[in-house]
Amino acid sequence: MMKNKQRGMSRRQFLATTGGATFFIGGYCLLPGCTTDSGAEAKEVLKKEVNVWVKLASDNQVIIYTPAAEMGQGSMTSVPLILAEEMDADWSKVKILSSPVEAETYGVGWYPGGNKNMTTAGSRTIRSYYQLMRETGAQIRASLLQNAAEKWQVSVEELTTKPGFVIHEASDSSMSFGEIAEFGNFESLPDMAGVKLKDPKDFKLVGKVLPRYDIPSKTNGSATYGMDVHLPGMLYGFISRSPVHGAKPELTNEEEIKNMDGVVSIVTLDHGVGVVCQSVEAGLKAKRQMKINWGESLMQSHNSEEDMNAYTTDGASETKHEGDVAGALKNVAKVHEAIFTNKYVYHAQMEPLNAVVSVAADKQSAEVWIGSQAPDGAKSAVAQTLGIDENKITVNQLFLGGGFGRRTLPGYAAECAALAKSVDKPVKLIWKREDDVSYGAFRPQVKHFFKAGLDKDGKIISWDHTAVGPGGGLSNGGASVAHYDIPNVRFMRKDVDHGIRTKHWRAVGHGPHKYAVETFIDQLARANNKDPYLYRLEMMQSNERVRKVLERAAEMSNWDPTPKDGRAMGIAFADRDSFSCGVAEISLNRDTGVIRVHKYWCAVDAGVIVQPDNAVAQVEGAVNMGISSTLKEQIDVKDGKVVQSNFHDYPILRMSEAPESIEVALIDSDESPEGIGEAGLPAVGGAIASAFAALTGKHLYDMPFTPDKVLAVLNS
């Protein structure tokens, strides 16, 4: 049967030499007071590798390596927590380190047979690691029992554990995990076939309210992000990137730039020109002074608004068809049609992109410090840029100041490698916020064409949805009504290439699609004089699990479809692997067009919840980010250039705009865990649009619902 023991991680693999200095990896220090796992401090305290995930120290410390990027979603705590649960570790003795970036060892395949990867995205971490961490923890526990049994000369059956100890009840003896570390043999761990997992009823850590491991370091400035890395002699890199994506640069004042104070090197890339300088100030100045002629590119003819207006369904192809949509339409009582649009959206993660790369003097190896959602991807990109083998690259994963999908792209690591290669010192590449916006990779704009056929009672018999826009598969996610009982369903898709970069953005296609799908369903309910909550519930008769989510949201919000005192409630449902239902209570300033969300309720069924308080926090955050993207955020493209540049013209939600309360209910569940980082987001747009319709009798067809658009709708 399965043997979990993965060996072959030699000490040498934890070392990388760059520029004459030796850095230790295998857990770059992210946290205060944490020493890197260099072995230098291990004089008295013995640390024994149990397997690639765990080291046991004779002082009872348990070191657990976490494979996931920590970008705010909390999996730095929850993945090790699952392992510690099954291992019966004393959580107060656990120290968490970032695992080495070795996808074969620490990665998981997303699909059976899929390549192992270390990408942290799509709310997949807990789903992907839950079983593996349980088994690994249980296997380690079994090994601890076995070692203790041999020591005590008793049978394993007589032993049990309590957190941090193996217990022999018959003789009233106990042995700490640290003691076992001193003599234990972990060369071959017990076969999984004989290892039992805990009954979830006995969980002591999973499902309990425990503080997150990373939080103390995030209240005193000691948490280390990519941006915070300092290396001796480090230089600073800045890049002027093509204002129109795809345009190639020609620097026309190279001599002038070269002669500027503090400029060390100039590097021309495919998509921009980089400078490496002695200081941030010199870099910023050189970047400002560069004069670049840009070539032609496909994107230069892209005008987001005009192009979207011109989208049609002509040439769309079918991605799904159940029943017979065209046939069903012949026999329905009424047909409704509507078109919804959503604009490009920018990630706006709080920490602009950055990386540090140090290339060895012989250019044959390199070390990278980065906060990346795909550190293995960053490793490949750096290897490719330097033209050397991947196993010559060491990547140190740091905290991410937000990711939301943007940090899965490895481009910033490759850029930094290209700059670092041109000098003999380490380079810190810094993106200005303006770079981050204008060279962003956006959630795609989509135009949704709907046609629904209803019977005389208003029940949906036929559903036809065509989505048009750039972004390929990114725009498909969430285009689904799978949890409604609709017999005839068709989805069509037309991809448009504007030359613009698009990228996963928290909840991917579900943000825009659930807004459109749910708002259309809401319209159908209202057009047939039905309560939009009950209307949905009636269509969920065959699915108890989702129905419960809806019922819970209605119950906790005291659902009332009738507006009162200038406020109205709206509702929407979303499936993003997890199920969620959001209820928004809004008011509207009819003079300014400003929509205010006063209260928000969200019920979520995400299966087993590992860290309940963090799950609630994730939903709160996702709701706020959902409100932000629903009411405020829009990227415009004019003649291929991104119009917005920083927070003054790309405003995101402020504290005064957050709801006065966000109430979250997590449905109790034994189902396998789904994601929680995105779950709260997709229903927000539909819930707000639904509330607006209740309040005004009018519909919002274009997201975001900025005041100008709201006023136009009110006056229509």
Partner 1 sequence: MKTSFELNGKNVSVDTPEDATLLWTLRERLKLTGTKFGCGIAACGACTVHLDGTAVRSCSMPMAAVAGKQVTTIEGLSENNDHPLQVAFQDEQVPQCGYCQSGQIMQAATLLTSNSSPSREEIVSHMNGNLCRCGTYNRIIKAITKAAEEGQS
* List of residues contacting ligand FES (CB under 6 A): 72, 350, 402
Residue 78 CA to residue 205 CA, distance in Å, equals 10
Q: Of the ranges 393-401, 494-502, 516-524, 554-562, which one interacts with partner 1 (CB under 8 A)?
A: 393-401
Per-residue contact flags (x/-) with partner 1 for residues 258 to 277, judged by CB under 8 A = ---xx---------------
Using the minimum distance from each CB to partner 1, give the nearer residue, 252 or 661: 661
280 binds partner 1, rule: CB under 8 A: yes
Q: Evaluate whether 156 touches 146 at the Cβ level (below 8 Å).
A: yes
Q: How far is the CB of 533 from partner 1 (least distance, A)?
A: 25
Instruction: Scan for tokens 């509330």, then name that residue.
Output: 691
Q: Quick count: other Cβ atoms within 10 Å of Cβ 89?
A: 28
72 binds partner 1, rule: CB under 8 A: yes
Using the minimum distance from each CB to partner 1, give the nearer residue, 378 or 400: 400
Q: Quick count: other Cβ atoms within 10 Å of Cβ 602?
A: 32
Region class of 152: left (phi > 0), else alpha (psi between -120 and 50), else beta = alpha
Q: Which of 221, 330, 564, 716 binds partner 1 (CB under 8 A)?
A: 221
Q: How far is the CB of 345 from ligand FES (least distance, A)?
A: 17
Q: Evaluate whether 655 touches 522 at the Cβ level (below 8 Å).
A: no
Nearest CA among 250, 292, 248, 290 for reference residue 270: 248
Using the minimum distance from each CB to partner 1, give the nearer residue, 323 or 651: 651
Using the minimum distance from each CB to ligand FES, give the nearer residue, 156 or 617: 617
Q: How far is the CB of 410 from partner 1 (least distance, A)?
A: 19
Q: Of the ranges 152-160, 328-336, 361-369, 611-619, which one interacts with partner 1 (CB under 8 A)?
A: 611-619
Q: Name residue 32's amino acid.
A: P
Q: Name residue 691's amino acid.
A: A
538, HSE (Cβ side, Cα atoms, 13 Å): 12
Q: How far is the CB of 534 from partner 1 (least distance, A)?
A: 30
Q: Evaluate whether 444 touches 502 at the Cβ level (below 8 Å).
A: yes
Q: Which of 153, 220, 529, 562 binds partner 1 (CB under 8 A)?
A: 220
How many residues are given for the chain? 716
In this structure, what token pair is assigned to residue 623? 């709701």
Helix axes 375-386, 411-421, angle to 10 degrees: 30
In this structure, what token pair is assigned to residue 479? 């285009």
21 binds partner 1, rule: CB under 8 A: no
- Looking only at the bridges linking them, the beta strands covering 235-241 and 427-430 are parallel
Nearest CA among 295, 318, 347 for reference residue 629: 347
223 binds partner 1, rule: CB under 8 A: yes
Q: Of the ranges 173-181, 293-301, 428-436, 564-572, which one interacts with partner 1 (CB under 8 A)?
A: 428-436
* 715 binding partner (options partner 1, ligand FES, none; Cβ < 5 to 8 Å by kind): none
In this structure, what token pair is assigned to residue 7? 């060996």
Q: Evaluate whether 86 touches 15 at the Cβ level (below 8 Å).
A: no
Q: How far is the CB of 72 from ligand FES (least distance, A)?
A: 5
> To which H or E segment does residue 341 belong?
strand 334-342
Question: 578 - beta bridge partners?
Answer: 576
DSSP letters of 372-428?
-S-HHHHHHHHHHHHTS-GGGEEEEE-B-S--TTGGG--HHHHHHHHHHHTSSS-EE
Using the minimum distance from each CB to partner 1, give the nearer residue, 232 or 315: 232
* 361 binding partner (options ligand FES, partner 1, none; Cβ < 5 to 8 Å by kind): none
Using the minimum distance from each CB to partner 1, give the nearer residue, 54 or 71: 71
Instruction: Write the DSSP symbol of residue 225.
Output: B
Q: How far is the CB of 662 from partner 1 (least distance, A)?
A: 6
* 280 binding partner (options partner 1, ligand FES, none; Cβ < 5 to 8 Å by kind): partner 1
Q: Which residues contact 342 (CB under 8 A, 6 or more apart)?
A: 445, 446, 448, 511, 512, 515, 516, 685, 702, 703, 704
Q: How far is the CB of 704 from ligand FES (least distance, A)?
A: 20
Residue 677 CA to residue 679 CA, distance in Å, equals 6
Q: Name residue 249's amino acid.
A: P
Using the minimum distance from each CB to ligand FES, give the nearer residue, 351 or 518: 351
Q: Of the ranges 210-218, 467-475, 536-544, 667-675, which one interacts with partner 1 (CB under 8 A)?
A: 210-218
Q: Which of 106, 129, 236, 573 binds partner 1 (CB under 8 A)?
A: 236
Q: How far is the CB of 217 from ligand FES (least distance, A)?
A: 13
Q: How far is the CB of 209 from partner 1 (least distance, A)?
A: 9
* b (16+ CB within 10 A) / e for 544-564: eebbbbbbbbbebbebbbebe
Using the minimum distance from each CB to partner 1, give the nearer residue, 196 or 598: 598
* 454 binding partner (options partner 1, ligand FES, none; Cβ < 5 to 8 Å by kind): none
* Residues 614-653 within binding reach of partner 1 (CB under 8 A): 614, 617-618, 620-625, 628, 646-648, 652-653
Q: Which residue is nearest to ligand FES (CB)?
A: 350
Phi first, then psi, for residue 235 (nearest 5°) are -105, 170
Using the minimum distance from each CB to partner 1, give the nearer residue, 14 or 399: 399
* Residues 651-670 within binding reach of partner 1 (CB under 8 A): 652-656, 658-662
Using the minimum distance from each CB to partner 1, give the nearer residue, 9 or 652: 652
- By CB under 8 A, name the binding residues for partner 1: 71-74, 211-212, 214-225, 227-228, 230, 236, 261-262, 279-282, 285, 348-352, 399-404, 430, 432-433, 613-614, 617-618, 620-625, 628, 646-648, 652-656, 658-662
